Structure 1
Amino acid sequence: MAQILDPLPPKQSGKILCCYINATSKIQVARISNIPNWYFERVVFPGQRLVFETPRKGQLEIHTGMMASAILSDKIPCDRLMLDEPSTDEFDPDSSDGKDPFNTKPMLQLLNTKTEDTRKPLQVGSFASVD
């Protein structure tokens, strides 16, 4: 679910879509503080993926939570976290190969196509009493 609390400041050109994954076992706070007139701060739980939009010159700070504090553990230029955008050819239904890039697998798969009798007798184990 997208959560847009603070839209990008006006007059910002070159916005990009980015993704950060918290691959640690600790709660992290992701913050972009180098863009004037814009506040971006999100809590990222272990294993969680954060997808966000930012100006190209944004720099993501990762603060790792400890018991009563948080330590700045990384600074990542946002252009390194940019998601690859598909080219316009991939969306063109009249492209030369005629393949749909999104529907590469069949929607339904047959689970069991055997027609022979698969019934087998039930084998029951015996119990012995021990004195």
Structure 2
Amino acid sequence: MTQLLNPPPSADSNQILCYFANNTSQVQIARISNIPGWFFERVVFPRQRLMFQAPPNACLEIYTAEMVSSLLCDRINCTRLQVESLTSVGSFC
């Protein structure tokens, strides 16, 4: 399942479309916390895809969900997740 989410509140229209896929067998938490005045956090289930808009300087943190806590396992600059259009990420089936 793919989620399309609203862009962050911003007067700046310089948002980029980003794509992240959880290709693991574990539940992951995707979080952006480095943008002042905006906090983004979503649960991404195994083999689920996530599309979102973010400022180019945003950094997506990926946490692996554990029973009692979460472990930061990756930090990705959103410019590395940028896509040009929905057709550039392939089939959503």
Provide TM-score, normalisation by structure 1: 0.59
Tell me the amino acid that sits aligned with residue 38 of structure 1: W
Higher relative contact order (CA 8 A, sep 6+): 2
1:8-61 deviation line (CA, Å, top 9, x unaligned): 232234200000000111000000000000121000000000000001111000
Q: 2:4 matched to which residue of 1?
A: 2
Which structure shows the bigger proportion of residues in strand conformation? 2
Q: 1:47 matched to which residue of 2?
A: 47
Runs of 4 or more off by more than 6 Å in structure 1? none
Aligned residues: 84
Q: Percent identity?
A: 50
Shift in alpha-carbon separation, 1:26–1:76, aligned structure 2, 3 A:
same
Q: Is the 8 A contact 2:19 2:82 kept in 1?
A: yes
| Residue segments in structure 2 that go unaligned for 5+ positions in a row | 87-93
Q: 2:60 matched to which residue of 1?
A: 60
Q: 1:120 matched to which residue of 2?
A: none
| SS of structure 2 residue aligned to 1:23 | coil
Provide TM-score, normalisation by structure 2: 0.81
Structure with bigger gyration radius? 1
Tell me the amino acid that sits aligned with residue 24 of structure 1: T
Q: 2:19 matched to which residue of 1?
A: 19
